[in-house]
Chains A and B, each alone.
Chain A
Amino acid sequence: AQKVTQAQTEISVVEKEDVTLDCVYETRDTTYYLFWYKQPPSGELVFLIRRNSFDEQNEISGRYSWNFQKSTSSFNFTITASQVVDSAVYFCALGSSNTGKLIFGQGTTLQVKP
């Protein structure tokens, strides 16, 4: 079975703190894809990153970084020097090339206080 677990339901930090959002996945596929999406208070879903299962290199994009570890089936997302505008619900998702489906975690609500 395919599953995505985001164990942190809500996280609250003060601006400029670093914060890591955890994502653990389960799959039997050898080829799969991992995604992160951001859902700000306005409600739309914004694509952040896509990573395939063969690429374990960490990625950094400005204040955002992602740590993919196949050994622990995790794809964690870190925001450095958080800002109030980072306040949102963040979803991790697992994509299967076998089923053609995208499975979402339940999301982590991040609140960044000034």
Chain B
Amino acid sequence: NAGVTQTPKFRILKIGQSMTLQCAQDMNHNYMYWYRQDPGMGLKLIYYSVGAGITDKGEVPNGYNVSRSTTEDFPLRLELAAPSQTSVYFCASSYSRGAGGGTDTQYFGPGTRLTVL
């Protein structure tokens, strides 16, 4: 049971480039999330998904896109990377019985450290 896995671990992008951050979980969790963590700050929610085919915006969605075609995978797409997107990105998952992701324990992946130059 690998839990939540993320690839890559590190990436440097040039301004204007695009990339996809991969996230997968093998715990059969229905909810999945993407957060970003800026230096000295807590985590801010970018997007989340309550199940395959359903996604919604979080607190800071601008500049990102997501899709959820399977229960296991939840990739995050960065289009036209900007220096403001330099951050550590965490994917998380939880099993929620319908009351929402704020009520159940979220389990996090190891993070992807992204630098945009």
Contacts and interface: CB of A to CB of B under 8 A. Distances in A.
Given A47-B105, A97-B100, A104 B42 contact: yes
Nearest to A6: B42
A91 B103 contact: no
Interface string A9-27: 1000000000000000000
With most chain B CB atoms within 10 A of its CB, the pick from A45, A47, A99 is: A45
Given A102-B45, A104-B43, A106-B41, A47 B101 contact: no
A33 B113 CA distance: 29
Nearest to A94: B102
A101 B42 contact: no
What bracket does the count of chain A residues touching chain B fall in?
20 to 34
Nearest to B106: A102
Interface string B93-108: 0001001111111111
Contacts of A32: 102
B43 A91 contact: yes
27 contacts: A9-B40, A33-B102, A33-B104, A35-B105, A43-B113, A45-B108, A47-B106, A47-B107, A47-B108, A50-B104, A52-B103, A91-B42, A93-B42, A94-B102, A95-B102, A97-B99, A97-B100, A97-B102, A97-B103, A98-B102, A100-B96, A101-B48, A101-B100, A101-B102, A104-B43, A106-B40, A107-B42
Given A32-B102, A101-B102, 10 more contacts: A45-B108, A52-B103, A93-B42, A97-B100, A97-B103, A100-B99, A100-B101, A104-B43, A106-B41, A107-B42
Interface of B: 33, 40-45, 48, 50, 58-59, 88, 90, 92, 96, 99-111, 113
Interface of A: 4, 9, 32-33, 35, 37, 43-45, 47, 50, 52, 91, 93-102, 104-107
Cβ-closest 9 pairs across A and B: A100-B100, A95-B102, A104-B42, A45-B108, A96-B102, A104-B43, A97-B99, A106-B42, A100-B101
